[in-house]
Amino acid sequence: MSAPSVPSTPSYTSGTSDVPLLGDTIGDNLDRTAAARPDAEALVDRARGERFTWTQFVAEVDALALGLLDAGVAVGDRVGIWAPNCSPWTLLQYATAKIGAILVNINPAYRTHELEFVLNQAGVSFLVAARSFKTSDYAAMISDVRPNCPALQRVVIIDSDEWSGLFDRASDVARVREVQATLTPDDPINIQYTSGTTGFPKGATLSHHNILNNGFFVGQLIGYSDVDRVCIPVPFYHCFGMVMGNLACTSSGATMVIPAPGFDPTLTLEAVAAERCTSLYGVPTMFIAELGLENFESYDLSSLRTGIMAGSPCPIEVMKQVVERMGMSEVAISYGMTETSPVSTQTRVDDSLDRRVSTVGRTMPHLESKIVDPETGRTVPRGTPGELCTRGYSVMLGYWEQPDKTAEVIDRARWMHSGDLGVMDDEGYINITGRIKDMVIRGGENIYPREIEEFLYTHPDIVDAQVIGVPDERYGEEIMAWVRQKPGTEPLTAEALREFSQGRLAHYKIPRYVHVVEEFPMTVTGKVRKVQMREEAVELLGLETGSPTA
């Protein structure tokens, strides 16, 4: 008689913590931080030449909150913000939270079609906007769409007289406190539109409880305290900037440093050096750009201790350089999505470098993670690929006024289905292998682009690489590599790459096509748009007659 089989360990973990969840609203939490260190520096905006102590910062927030109340903004009203990173953005973030208005983040890259959709879908009644940024004339675009946005009652341009007027009655803050006292942590406070690769974006609706706690625990895991100064070059309109950046700082007493309105590698390193920042944020492409500066060695980055890399998988070689050349020995990798406020998993400061380059860490405190079979929904054994799901305080309230879309991603047990493929090891570390839709199926073989991308980084001439599947009549899909090369190197050919890969990569994983580019098509948050890459590749290679990609 054979011995009974031992059940395999399921791919499930829960994040334990001795630190309880915060029960505050964002406004109450800000007031508590400011009271504890009134004269310390809260916010630095280098482009505007502005500095605020915590006392000054809260005074400005309260003044703006009062101005919004005087303008007729009420609890639950949607207030839009359309601007690059700047101190007014941050002030509005906390002013709306103080009075229970729902801040609607509008992507700075939007044009009139997308702007009109978001204003109407969220029912924005009050819009704050920059006059312009780079090639975008925001004021002109707002004028174009305003007749088609019936809910929009008022538009205020940052730095106009009307903007300054919102701060005029700073002494009457008792009204702000009265409204603030009526709010609860579970109230919706923020709508963030997911970029969406097809169709219109969806508005992830987030509460005080969602984003305040997520920012707080992100900061906790990398040891934030009131001695930290955090350089935030990632966009505020996204969770990376306003939650992992701003809220992580205000909940821990750390200083927010805005290096520039938009990402600039030189201005970022200048800010780190001049402000003695202890932490630096970025997506991998940002760190690649900073490390690639010709005068990189001239910047004094000795103050750096930690930081966060997120947004897309981190190449091993990039992480090694961030640790060795930038001194960020405690840098963390974070993973998540807008719908989970955003961070679901994160590496810890005592994790080995190998853990930080090969995984996205372990489940965050007070959250649950599991890996399921995308077809059956059953939890798979450890070591088996499947879809990563998250449950807990961070899961959004839902998509704004789209219960049908909400039901597609949040199941009846309140698990948020990410659409990402992941594998959980025996110690609970999770590795993201790609999007379910990005997986390449070549002749029946499931191929994960991340594995090939990591291999391509070992090529001496390649700076960055992205792998996609393109249509193929014989195999269904074939592999194509888009690469960015080091300056002065010979353009890489498919034949040369095949020779480099022989004996080192399984034959079916070797890219059939190679496309050398200066930049990848990307979203504002630094995520590579593989859908756009596939569309361009089909036209570039003349594959319109091939089988459709998965």
**Domain boundaries of the chain, sorted by first residue:** 41-365+391-399, 439-541
- Kindly state the percentage of the chain with pLDDT values over 70: 96
Distances 436 to 48, 217, 343, 423, 447 between C-alpha atoms, Å: 43, 28, 19, 13, 11
Average pLDDT estimate for 475-485: 92
Q: Of how many residues is the chain composed?
A: 550
Q: What is the DSSP string of 463-515?
A: EEEEEEEEEETTTEEEEEEEEEE-TTPPPP-HHHHHHHHTTTS-GGGS-SEEE
With cut-offs at 50, 70 and 90, classify the pLDDT of residue 546.
very low
Distances 342 to 1, 242, 394, 518 between C-alpha atoms, Å: 51, 10, 7, 30
Please give the Cα distance from 488 to 404 (Å, whole number). 52
The pair phi, psi for residue 204, each rounded to 5°, is -70, 120
Please give the Cα distance from 340 to 418 (Å, whole number). 9
Please give the Cα distance from 143 to 116 (Å, whole number). 11
The pair phi, psi for residue 467, each rounded to 5°, is -120, 135
With cut-offs at 50, 70 and 90, classify the pLDDT of residue 550.
very low
What is the pLDDT at residue 311? 78
Q: What is the mean pLDDT of the chain?
A: 93
What is the pLDDT at residue 545? 52
Q: Which of 547, 390, 398, 404 is nearest to 477 (CA)?
A: 547
With cut-offs at 50, 70 and 90, classify the pLDDT of residue 375.
confident
Please give the Cα distance from 73 to 413 (Å, whole number). 35
Long-range contacts formed by 323-328: CB under 8 A, 24+ apart? 323/353, 325/291, 325/296, 326/280, 326/287, 326/290, 326/291, 326/301, 327/301, 327/302, 328/280, 328/304
Q: Which of 346, 306, 311, 348 is nearest to 323 (CA)?
A: 306
With cut-offs at 50, 70 and 90, classify the pLDDT of residue 170.
low
Average pLDDT estimate for 70-93: 98
Measured in whole angstroms, the distance separating CA 77 from the mean position of its chain's CA atoms is 25
Distances 270 to 293, 385, 394, 469, 526 between C-alpha atoms, Å: 12, 42, 34, 40, 21
Fold that domain 439-541 belongs to in CATH: GMP Synthetase; Chain A, domain 3 (3.30.300)
- Span 41-365+391-399 CATH architecture: 3-Layer(aba) Sandwich (3.40)
Average pLDDT estimate for 176-198: 88
Please give the Cα distance from 316 to 359 (Å, whole number). 11
452 touches 315 (CB < 8 A)? no
Q: Tokens 């049908």 label which residue?
A: 404
* pTM score above 0.95: no
Q: Looking at the predicted structure, is the pLDDT value of residue 533 above 60?
A: yes
Please tell me the least confidently modeled range out of 284-288, 329-333, 524-528. Answer: 524-528
With cut-offs at 50, 70 and 90, classify the pLDDT of residue 475.
confident
Measured in whole angstroms, the distance separating CA 230 from the mean position of its chain's CA atoms is 16
What is the pLDDT at residue 113? 86
Are β-strands 229-231 and 279-282 bridged in parallel, bridged antiparallel, or unpaired? parallel
pLDDT tens digit string along 195-254? 643 457 899 999 999 999 999 999 999 999 999 999 999 999 999 999 999 999 999 999
Higher pLDDT, 32 or 168: 32
Bond from prior residue into 259 cis (ω within 30 degrees of 0): no
Residues whose CB is less than 8 angstroms from the CB of residue 400 and which lie 6 or more positions away in sequence, other chains included: 121, 122, 191, 202, 203, 204, 205
With cut-offs at 50, 70 and 90, classify the pLDDT of residue 440.
confident
Judged by DSSP in three states, 336 sits in strand
65 touches 152 (CB < 8 A)? no
Higher pLDDT, 109 or 258: 258
Widest Cα–Cα separation across the chain: 87
What is the pLDDT at residue 201? 82
What is the pLDDT at residue 3? 54
- Kindly state the percentage of the chain with pLDDT values over 90: 79
